[in-house]
Amino acid sequence: MNENQAQGESKNIGGKIQETMGNLTGNDDQAAQGQGQQAEGAVQGKVGGLQQDVSNAVGRTGSQEQAAGHGDQAMGNLKEGAGNLTGNENLQSQGQAQQGQGAVKEGIGNLKEGVENLFGGNKG
């Protein structure tokens, strides 16, 4: 289980708790927020699963970084979009930051892959 999978599962559980509390107290907004958190967790878990699949299939350090970078960029894009839809500026900012982190990871992966290729360090 990678970081995105673990965080996704955590968000899913937290969302279930929040939805249940909202239902128990009759707070429809809280229940809806919990459902939204569950959806975000499910998406993040799927992104983590894709990252893991790519890393396992490729098995190269640079490619693993690239896959992690792509996953972070995708998750950041989803967060920013969800923030735009809901008017949640914090979620928008988190999404933008995660996209930036993903771009950096992808760049590191590209650099590692170039070094691996230059020195014949390919494992795949």
Residues 56-79: tens digit of each pLDDT: 655 556 677 787 888 888 888 888
Other Cβ atoms closer than 10 A to 80: 19
Is the predicted pLDDT of residue 121 greater than 60, yes or no?
no
- Identify the pLDDT of residue 122: 47
Other Cβ atoms closer than 10 A to 117: 12
Are 24 and 66 in the same domain?
no
pTM for the model: 0.50
Are 23 and 76 in the same domain?
no
Are 91 and 40 in the same domain?
no
Rounded to whole angstroms, how far apart are CA atoms 39 and 86?
Answer: 14
Asked whether residue 18 is domain-assigned, the answer is yes
pLDDT digits (tens, 9 = 90+) for 86-111: 888 988 899 899 889 988 988 888 88
Domain that holds residue 84: 59-124
Asked whether residue 54 is domain-assigned, the answer is no
Are 38 and 73 in the same domain?
no
Rounded to whole angstroms, how far apart are CA atoms 9 and 75?
Answer: 14
Asked whether residue 53 is domain-assigned, the answer is no
Number of domains in the chain: 2
Are 40 and 5 in the same domain?
yes
Asked whether residue 50 is domain-assigned, the answer is no
Q: What percentage of the chain carries pLDDT values higher than 90? A: 21
If pLDDT is split at 50, 70 and 90, which confidence band does 24 have? very high
Which parts of 43-106 are beta strand (E)?
Answer: none
Rounded to whole angstroms, how far apart are CA atoms 1 and 25?
Answer: 34
